[in-house]
């Protein structure tokens, strides 16, 4: 069992930065790959970023590549999402999620792959 709690959301102007954190409970955190997703009003939940259990590999949605960075600290049971050069279209509720094992090596973008979810944190980017 893994419990996830996001923090760090807020209101920021376009071009600004925010750092989201996800704190995980449970001694097996380092066994899980982690993902960040977001959901804007009226839209489906979409993939943002993914990091393997060791942190050796990361993947990003094209819309955030070069602006967002995912990282993790297994000693502290945390995963972070550094968001720079924010745009109004980044406005959404951001969720972290944990997956023990993907069914397919490339399916990290699929929300249905994930076993545990946090409650989400709101990010609002004003123009």
**Alpha-carbon span 89 to 6, nearest angstrom:** 20
Query: Among positive and negative, which fits the CA dihedral 121, 60, 69, 112?
Result: positive
What pLDDT was estimated at residue 106? Answer: 87
What pLDDT was estimated at residue 83? Answer: 98
What pLDDT was estimated at residue 105? Answer: 82
pLDDT string in tens for the chain (127-residue length):
899 999 999 999 999 999 999 999 987 888 999 999 999 999 999 999 999 999 999 999 999 999 999 999 999 999 999 999 999 999 999 999 999 988 888 899 999 999 999 999 999 999 9
């Amino acid at each position: 069992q893994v419990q996830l709690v996001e923090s760090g959301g807020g209101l920021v102007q376009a071009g600004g930065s925010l750092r989201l954190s996800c704190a995980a409970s449970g001694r097996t955190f380092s066994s899980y790959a982690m993902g960040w997703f977001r959901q804007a009003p009226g839209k489906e939940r979409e993939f943002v970023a993914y990091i393997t259990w060791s942190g050796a590999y990361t993947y990003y949605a094209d819309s955030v590549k070069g602006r967002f960075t995912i990282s993790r600290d297994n000693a502290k049971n945390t995963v972070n999402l550094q968001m720079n050069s924010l745009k109004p279209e980044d406005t959404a509720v951001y969720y972290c999620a944990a997956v023990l094992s993907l069914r397919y090596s490339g399916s990290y973008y699929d929300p249905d792959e994930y076993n545990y979810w946090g409650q989400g944190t709101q990010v609002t980017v004003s123009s």
